[in-house]
Every structure is written in C-alpha cells, then in structure tokens.
Copies of this chain bind each other. A is one copy, B any other.
Amino acid sequence: MAVPGAALAGSAIGTSASLCWGAMEGLLTRFRALATCSHQLSGYVPCRFHHCAPGRGKRLVLSRVFQPQNLREDQVLSLEGRSGDLTCKSQRLMLQVGLIHPASSGCYHLLPYTVRAMEKLVRVIDQEMQAIGGQKVNMPSLSPAELWRATNRWDLMGKELLRLRDRHGKEYCLGPTHEEAITALVASQKTLSYRQLPFLLYQVTRKFRDEPRPRFGLLRGREFYMKDMYTFDSSPEAARQTYSLVCDAYASLFDRLGLRCVKVQADVGSIGGTMSHEFQLPVDVGEDRFVVCHSCSFSANMETLDLSQRNCPACQGPLTETKGIELGHTFYLGTKYSSIFNAQFINIHGKPSLAEMGCYGLGVTRILAAAIEVLSTEDCIRWPGLLAPYQVCLIPPKKGSKEAAATELTEHLYDHITEAVPQLRGEVLLDDRTHLTIGNRLKDTHKFGYPFVIITGKRALEDPAHFEVWCQHTGEVTFLTKEGVMELLSQVQVV
C-alpha cells in the first residue's frame, strides 16, 4: 500500500537527509506530482470487498450473493435434465449450494463461490510453479491444424478434438493440450543458449476435449481449466532433474491442500514420451484404477500392467487395487516434439542441439471437485482450508428474538475482524437473512463449508459478550470473547 504523500515529511526523509537530500527531495516532489495524474503513488485505494450497493454499508452480505436457491428445494435432479447424469457427491453438492450451473453437456457456469475458490487454487499453483522457476505464458485456444498435422495428432486424437474452420476455410482445433504450440514457439527463438535453460513455461487456461461421455460435473467436462507446464532442458540428465523438481512441486501442492495423492507410474497415451506418472486421488467414484504395493514403494496405473500380473513387479509382494481420480500427470518427452519442430539451443560446444522436453498437467477445475468429493460428508461441503471461498461466516440474531439486542455486536465484530486481521479482508461474510432462525442459517453454513462460523447467540448478552464459534474442520464448538475470536482468526492462513 502506498503511504500518502504527507507521511514523507517526517522522520523517514530525515534518515536520508544527511546523504543526498537535495537530489532526492527533488525527485520525490516531481514523482509525487506525477502520481497525482496516474495514481501510481497516491493513497487512492478503492473500497474493495463488498457486494452491497452503496448505502448498504461495506460488508459482504449473503442475501446479495448470486447463487441458485436450491438449499431447501429439490431442483437439483432436474437441473441436469436426466437424473442418470447426476452420478457423484461433488456434482450433487456443487449444484445444490449453487457452486456450478449446467450450461451444456460437460460445460458448466462457475458461480461466484467457485470462482473465488479457483482463483485461490491458481494462486497456490502459481506459488509452487514459480518457486521452481516456472514462468507464466498464455497461448491461444485456437490452434492451427498444421501444427497438429506435423505431429500426426490431427488424426490420432480423433473425435476428442473439437475442430472448426474460420471464415477463410482455415482449419483449427480448440487446444486440449499445447505441446505443439509451445514447441513451435520455443523453436522460433533462434539464439537460445544452454545458459538460459531450463525453461519452465506454464499457463492456466481453458482446455477443450470432446469427451464421449462427459459426467461427474467438473470431474470430467468438455471445457475445463488446466495448468499445463512445458519444460526445456539442455540434456537428458538435466531434464530428469527438472522432472523430479516438478513432481516434488506437485506433491507439495497436494500436501498444502490436504489431498493425499498417490504418485503412480502411468501410460504415456497420445502425449508420448518415455516416462510418465499420474497423481491419483484415491476415491471410489474415480474412473482410473491403480495398484499400490505395501511392501515396497511400487505403484502403477493398471493400464501399465500386464493383466495377468497379480504381484508387484519390483518385490513380488501383493498388490492392492484402488480407484482414483487423476489430478496431475507428468511426462518425460525427450525430443519427441523438439525434433519435429526443430526446437534447438546452442550447447556448451557452440553447436545447435535439440531441447529435452517434459510436460506436466494439473486439472484445475477437477481438483476443486475432487477435493469436495473426498472431504465432504453426504450433505455438507468441506473445502481444503486454503481454498474455502470465504473463511468466516457471521450469523447475527434472528430479527425480533431476545438476542436481537446483540445484533450490533455482529456488525462490530465484522468490522473489527477486517481491521485487525488484514488477511481476512474480503473473507468474512455476514448471513443477513435475519428473518430466518439462527438454527436454519447454521444448517446452511454447514452445507457451504465455511471453515469458521461465528454466531451471536444467547451468550452474546453476557458481559463480556461470548460468541459461539464453530470450527467446521474439527467439528468443535466453543464460546469466545471478541479477543478470543481475534486470536483464533489471526492464525488463519489465506492465499
């Protein structure tokens, strides 16, 4: 945040005054004058985080959030047209509380809560990818047919590729993945040196896949968000190091989300290459089958095994079969794509050499749904703490009830939290539907899965006032004073 210009007059300037006061003062003065036009330096910060129309105060209030009103009505089945399509818990819950709304087969509108959760997930992904040197790019969805013909995938991908022609008859597909595009991009750089490598280039964008049977809501859609990273190294050894680095970053990501994924050896499929792993989240609704050996560290997607194989190929121990959802997939590609597009760099001997590549995917919208699938109960959504759309929901007393005298306390608490705990700005929602009982609203908060629910109930009338605090992840309820609430909430990590 910028310090308003006035703050400059004090001690801060004093420290540098003895050093080169004149020069800097001139610079700062002119810089401040400039800021008046462009707001580059001004203290101007718009009020950010309220959904309320002006005059209604600046608190986020539940009654104004846009979401379908299915909580108490059984419209969910009819939403998807045929009830047979509604085949898993996350899909049902996400429809019910208004996280998604069907647009067409395998395509969903993401509603405000989901957009918030997804933006948080993308921030976690950005942190993990940038921590290992990832650089973010953004490639078009319209992908020219000639790129795909060069790798023969125009034919190989078959009906999964959504194809179209532009007004001039030129053919495109909607990118389901971008090995061709990124390799052609890197190949266009004629003066790359081995000193610049590795490059770890990634994007978080929509991908398209014409699934034969889209289902399970965001778990298997036709249009979805994916993080895809492509790496370019100067040698097979370096490329394998990069491969490990990315796998470790994926493990760290899932760990931070509290998702216990299993890294299994996998088939390379239509992407190709010589080594591949999947990050599988064990859950019954999963469409993949993998085996784990509990005697050694072996684990593999069933696709990679001989069907007659019943024991671990590494230690001959027994294999346990599990169903899983593939949340991540890594491929060591070697020079499969770089040789086709001639993606070269100048090696240490001054000679052109083909880049060794890897590619790495994370299903962004799929991770959201899978997390809900494994963490939720049958009726109540639970999010990974970091991804919860809002961290805190405050429930004021019912209008006209005995406790209504304490209504203002909730509003004060709201304001105090957002002042005293800056990371929770924009994270606190007020359930202002005060025509409903506390109990009814509490039921709804369980469904939505706010990590913390704070009720202004009977004990708010005590001196000092005590708030009823529900910690959804532990299922615990306790009574805390305002100071206690602050103490607790100041611990919450927000991304």
Contacts and interface: CB of A to CB of B under 8 A. Distances in A.
Interface string A121-141: 000000110111101111111
Interface stretch (A320-328, A437-445, A481-489): A481-489
A307 interface: no
B139 A483 contact: no
B206 A141 contact: yes
A27 B469 contact: yes
Interface in A199-221: 199, 201, 203, 205-206, 208, 210, 212
Interface string A463-495: 010100101011010111101100110111100
Interface in A219-240: 222-223
Interface string A251-278: 0100111100000000000000000000
Contact of A464 (B19, B118, B256): B19
Contacts of A144: 103-104
Contacts of A191: 69, 73
B40 A492 contact: yes
Interface stretch (A60-68, A330-338, A355-363): A60-68
B112 A137 contact: yes
Interface in A7-58: 8, 12-13, 15-16, 19-20, 23-24, 26-28, 30-32, 34-35, 37-42, 44, 46-54
Given A23-B480, A141-B141, A42 B493 contact: yes
Interface stretch (A181-189, A291-299, A311-319): A181-189
Contact of A258 (B38, B115, B140): B38
Given A164-B162, A483-B19, A492-B2, A189 B130 contact: no
Given A23-B479, A38-B384, A48 B493 contact: no
B24 A493 contact: no
A344 to B, nearest CB: 14
Interface in A161-186: 162-164, 166-167, 170, 172, 174, 181, 185
Contact of A1 (B15, B32, B386, B423): B423
Given A69-B189, A185-B109, A223-B141, A481 B385 contact: no
Interface residues of A, number: 134
A20 B466 CA distance: 9
Given A28-B491, A137-B112, A138-B115, A20 B258 contact: no
Contacts of A12: 487, 490
B16 A481 contact: yes
Interface in A57-93: 63-66, 68-69, 73, 75, 79
Given A107-B140, A133-B53, A201-B66, A39 B195 contact: no
A27 to B, nearest CB: 5
A490 B10 CA distance: 14
A475 B381 CA distance: 55
Interface of A: 1-3, 8, 12-13, 15-16, 19-20, 23-24, 26-28, 30-32, 34-35, 37-42, 44, 46-54, 63-66, 68-69, 73, 75, 79, 101, 103-105, 107-112, 114-116, 118, 127-128, 130-133, 135-144, 159, 162-164, 166-167, 170, 172, 174, 181, 185, 188-192, 195-196, 198-199, 201, 203, 205-206, 208, 210, 212, 222-223, 245, 252, 255-258, 384-386, 423, 451, 464, 466, 469, 471, 473-474, 476, 478-481, 483-484, 487-488, 490-493
